[in-house]
Every structure is written in C-alpha cells, then in structure tokens.
Amino acid sequence: MDQTHASSPLAGAVHDLATEVVLALRSGDHLATVCGAAGIDEENRTGIAAARVIGADLLLPSVLYGRHPHPGDVAVLDRAVREFPPKPDAPAATAWSHWHMISTLQRFAPPPQGATGPGTAVGTGTTVGTGTTVGTGTTGTYAEPDAAWLENAPWQSFTHQLSVLAPLAVPAAPSAVQRAAADRAVDLARGFVRAVRRRDWLQAAGAGRWLAAIGGEPATLGLERGLDFVELMGGHDPRVTLHVRAARLMAEARAR
Amino acid sequence: MTSGNTGIQQIHDVGAKALGWLYEHREGFRLEADPAPEAGMLDRFKPLGELALIGKVIFREGVAGSQQSALAHKLLDHAWHELLGSGARLLEGQRREPLSPVPLEVYVPFRELGYRQPDLESAIRLNHRLASWAALEVLPVRRLGLSAIERRFGVEPSVPETAALAHTWLARRPEPWTVEGHIGYDITHTVFHLTDWGEKPAGLPADIAEYLELWLPTWLDDWLDLKRWDLLGELLVVDACLPEPTLDAAAWQGFAQAQQPDGAMPVVGDMPEGDEESVFDLVYHPTLVAAFASALAMSRALSDLSSEPAPA
C-alpha cells in the first residue's frame, strides 16, 4: 500500500483504490481486479471503507468498457453497500451515492436461477450477496432519493454537489441527478471555471466529468484542454486522474 | 460598514457615497509640481484621464440624481480649470513629450463636454499624421483605446477599431478558467473602449456579449471571494454594459459592504493605512470605479423598468 501521500490508513486505501481504477481504465484489461491489486478484500475493514469512498467507480472500468467486473470487486462493493448504509439524516449526496452503488451492482447482476427479470440480485459469485438491504428484486431496491434541491441550488453549490456525485456521471445510467445535470450544463461549466480558478482540482475534475458525460457545455469553455490542465495540475491525486480519464473515455465515445 | 439597503437602493447608495468622497477629496487629484525625473511626466495625468472619462458618464447618465450629476460636473470643472490650467498643463505635457497619446486621452472627454484647448488640438492633429504615431508599440487593449479615442476626437483611427479589437484577449474568447487579475483588467478595458466607457452598450459585438454573459458570473464570484474590490467594481461595470445586466446581488452586496462609511472603496481587503495623500492615491481608483459602476447599473436598471420588471 502506497501511503507516501496519505494522511491516514483510510486515505491511503482510497489512494490505492483510485490508482488501481486509473490503471484499469488506462489498460482496458478486462481481467483487471481493482481491489485485489490494491490488496483489499471484503474482510478488510479499512478497504471496505475506502470502497465506500470510491463508490460505484470501483466498477467504472467495466461500466465504460462494457465488460463483466471481477467478482472480487463486486463483492467488496456489495460489502461496502451493506456496511455503510446512509443514516436517515444523511446528506442527500450520501443517499445518492448509496443509491448509485446499488444500481451499479444491479447493472452487473446476472439473473439468478428461476428469476423472471434482470437486476434482481447483487454480489453473485460470492457469499455476500444475500443481504437484506439490496438486491432482492424491485421491491428490495433503494428508492431514488430526492433531487428537487438540486434544481434551485445556486450554480456554485450545484457544481460542488454534482462533483461529489461524479460517479453518477456514467453512460446509460439515468437518474434525477443526471437529468438535473443535463438541464444545467452552463451552470456546471461555470462551476468548472470556478473550481479551476480555486485550484480545487478534484471538484474541477468531477464537474468536467459530468460535462463530458452529458455534453452541451459552451464551446468557449475549452473542456478538453481544461481537463488536460486539471490533470497536469492536480493529477498527483489519483481521484482527479480517475475523473479526467473517465471524462476522456466518455467524450471519445460521444464523438464516435 | 454595512448598508441596510439592498437591490437598486443599495446600488444607488454606493454611487452617491463614492462620489461624495471623491468630491470631498478632490484636492487629492493633483499634478506634482516637481515629479521625479525617472517618472514619465505624463503618467501623472492618468488619474485625471480616468476622472474625466468616468465623471463624464456620471454627469451624462443623470439617473444618478441631479445632485450627483451636479457633483460630477463640479469635479470635472475643478479638474479642468484648477488642475489642468484650463488645458494649459496638457499642452505643456504635449510639448515635453510630443508623441505621447496621453494628452489626447485625457482631453477627449473634456472636449466632449465643451472644454477646449485649440493649441493642443493642433498638436494632436499633427501627431495623427505621423507614421510614428500609428506605429507606437502599445498593448492591444491600449491600441483599441487609442483607436476609440481618435474616433471620439474626430479623426480617422490610425488602426481601424475592428482590427485593433481582433488582437485583444477578449476578442479571441479564450478559456475562461485562465483569467487572472491582469487579464481581468484587459477584459474590462476592452469593454470600456468598445462601449465608450458604458455610454453605448450596443458597441459590444454579439459574440463578445454572449461570451461575457456566460463567464462574467464566474469572475464576479471569484473576485468577490478574493475581496479585490477594484477589479470587482470594473467587472460590475462590464455587467452593466451587457444586453441583459444581471446586477449580481451577491457581488453588489459584498461591494457595498466593503465601502467605508465615508464612501471610500479599498482596492483589496480592508482600507490601507497611511497619510491622507498616500491613502488617496491607493483608493481613488476603486472609489471612482464604484461611482462609475453604480451610475451605469442604475441607468440600466431604470431604463429596463420602463419596458419590463427590473431584475430581482
């Protein structure tokens, strides 16, 4: 575990996980195991907490390359979902992140024996997919949280919140958050400018990833060069690089 | 420090207080009798040039209120007669540095208000015929300003304004996230020159207006946060020059709160310390800009009232 730049074991684990996601995005290797490479399994408490921080991006290489995720990664994400459910008074962004982890797991869940439809189970291939929180059919899913608060948020806080929810910026994953983002591309673009000016590279990368996912940003923003700039300036944080690479892959896919 | 007012009233009060301070401290606008030899003599005219350009707009806008209009006129009168010797000092400067464009830049707004110095005009017209005048190496935004001021004086711009504009930062509409302080001033002054310092908002080309509408909110947000009141004030002027000014509530609120009870506006952060002259030299510009931004914003807000509800 490379903790050279980490301030705590958790920060170190987050750093390692993000680094492995970046490597998998770069290589496109469908055999890659993010958690295994980072030395994290489902019994590793710090690792599970780090997986909760990275969220559904743990499976991002599979989402973007359209490949099956490594079972070990699915197991860790599933464990993170069950170990860290949002409290009733949790911030909306936490609830959304949780919701997205569940829906990402469902996206990759093969229909179980005898099931009549897709998306009815999670964590298959491991022994941990039978929890009560998730994945027992449509009635067992975590309801989509409220997103009305996003509609009236000023562009500054809107971008900040969307950036926290950057893992939701993936193709073919409709949500109220994604619709809010698509409706406010100019505000996100302004937020990108603000984040770059403030040298908040993580927020800038998250906002840029959203813009790459939804499109519609003003041409004068210079998003492609902006993402390069953010990576150049903030790429020492693998979470920044993760968003930038995700953005590039989505932008390339959109251009095709 | 804080004003209890909001919206239009707050914008009005910022201008009224700023202009009051400028008039009270008008002796601060001075030409040193014996400037240091290394300082360009004509550099000392810069504050007067800004006072003239902005004072003229406040005087003309009228909406600032008849009292402010009268104060602006008295300030200009003081500057022309007391400080510029009814133009004699400008002529003297021109004789000292014959090719300098500064006397022209300072003179034009006064001339538009009816103040005249015929001998200076002869020198300007001769200058205008020189190849060297057109060849002067200046920054693109300054070249645009010179072209505009030549037009306002009534001679053909040595470089057409559209050609001069093309070389500015703003005309290229670059990545908005690259804007730093010095680029910020290039942006505001390009807008000032294009609109004759706010007198003709229609002078903004549509593509530049659209660009500014997109990105000005991010720069207002940024310089409000940095408490850089001088540039924030200039950006509020730019806002007032847009087809649909936002009269950005947060920016105006912060700007108003930074203004001192006596009307002075600090450059950045809090008021500087020092003797009266040195404080004046530091704060006259942001205070002038505060009066300018207020007058233009009031003008736009009130003219919009006649056709549609004013922005909240």
Secondary structure of residue B23 in the 3-state scheme: helix
- Over residues B163-169, the mean pLDDT reads 98
Question: Hey, what amino acid is at B62?
Answer: G
Q: How far is CA B31 from CA B27, B79, B106, B278, in A?
A: 10, 10, 13, 14
Determine the number of helices (DSSP H) and then strands (DSSP E) in chain A: 13, 0
- In the predicted model, what is the mean pLDDT of residues B102-130? 95
Cβ-based neighbours of B53, under 8 Å, separated by 6 or more:
B109, B192, B197
Q: Which residues contact A166 (CB under 8 A, 6 or more apart)?
A: A57, A205, A206, A207, A209, A210, A243, A246
Look at residue B59 in the predicted model and tell me its pLDDT: 86
Extract the runs of DSSP E, i.e. beta strands, from B85-230.
none
Instruction: Determine contact, residues B214/B193, Cβ cutoff 8 Å.
Output: no
Per residue of chain A (256 residues), give pLDDT as tens.
Answer: 444 556 899 999 999 999 999 999 998 766 678 998 888 888 899 999 999 999 999 999 999 999 999 999 999 999 999 999 999 899 999 999 999 999 999 999 876 665 444 443 343 333 333 333 444 333 346 889 999 999 899 999 999 999 999 999 999 999 999 999 999 999 999 999 999 999 999 999 999 999 999 999 999 999 999 999 999 999 999 999 999 999 999 999 988 8
Taking an 8 Å cut-off on Cβ atoms, the answer to whether B175 and A222 are in contact is yes
Which residues lie closer than 8 Å to B110 by C-beta, 6 or more apart?
B52, B56, B76, B79, B80, B84, B87
CATH code of B194's domain:
1.50.10
Q: CA of A48: how far to CAs of A41, A57, A94, A151, B59, in Å?
A: 8, 14, 16, 33, 68
**Chain B nearest-CA residue for A223:** B175
Residues of chain B with C-beta less than 8 angstroms from the C-beta of A198: 222
Structure tokens at B309: 């509800």
Give, to the nearest 10 degrees, the angle between helix A201-214 and helix A238-255: 20
B interface with A, Cβ–Cβ < 8 A, is: 173-177, 179, 211, 214-215, 217-218, 221-222
Per CB-CB distance under 8 Å, the chain A contacts of B211 are 220
Q: How many domains does chain B have?
A: 1
User: How high is the pLDDT of residue A120?
Assistant: 37
Q: Choosing among B177, B220, B226, which should be mutated to test the A contact, i.e. which has the most A CBs within 10 A?
A: B177
Cα distance between residue B148 and residue B160, in whole Å: 9
What is the least distance, in Å, from the CA of A223 to any CA of chain B?
A: 9
Q: Is B41 inside any structural domain?
A: yes
Q: Residue B70: what pLDDT?
A: 87
How distant, in Å, are the alpha carbons of B19, B68, B84, B150, B293 from that of B112?
A: 21, 19, 16, 13, 21
Structural domain includes residue B88: yes
Termini Cα distance of chain A = 38
B87 vs A120: CA distance, rounded Å: 87
Three-state secondary-structure class, residue A145? coil
| Cα–Cα dist A21/A57, whole Å | 8
CA–CA dist A190, A199 (Å, integer): 14
Residues of B in contact with A196 (CB under 8 A): 177
Domain around B77? 7-305
Model pTM score: 0.90
Name the residue facing B222 among A197, A218, A225 (closest C-beta): A197
- Determine the angle formed by the axes of helices B102-112 and B46-61, rounding to 10 degrees: 20
pLDDT on residue B43: 74
A84-105 burial, b at 16+ Cβ within 10 Å, e below that, comes to: bebeeeeebbbbbbbbbbbbbb
Domain-embedded: residue B312:
no
ipTM above 0.95, yes or no: no
**B15 pLDDT higher than 60:** yes
Flag if A220 and B221 touch (Cβ within 8 Å).
no
Residue B191 lies in a domain: yes
Q: Quick check: helix, strand or coil at residue A33? A: coil
| Rounded mean pLDDT, B138-147 | 97
Looking at residue B66, its pLDDT comes to 76
Would B29 be classed as within a structural domain? yes
**CB–CB of A189 and B214 under 8 A?**
yes
Select the residue of A190, A225, A226 nearest B218 (Cβ to Cβ): A190
Q: How do residues B184-235 score in pLDDT, each as one tens digit?
A: 999 999 999 999 999 999 999 999 999 999 999 999 999 999 999 999 999 9
Nearest CA in chain A to B178: A197
- Judge whether B58 and B291 are in contact, CB under 8 Å: yes
Q: What pLDDT is recorded for position A156?
A: 98
Residue A193 to chain B, least CA–CA distance (Å): 5
**Torsions phi, psi for B38 (to 5 deg):** -75, -20
Q: Which of A194, A198, A221, A228 to mutate to test the interface with B (most CBs of B within 10 A)?
A: A194
- Judge whether B78 lies within some domain: yes
User: Using CA atoms, how far apart are residues B307 and B200, in angstroms rounded to an integer?
Assistant: 19
pLDDT at site B30: 84
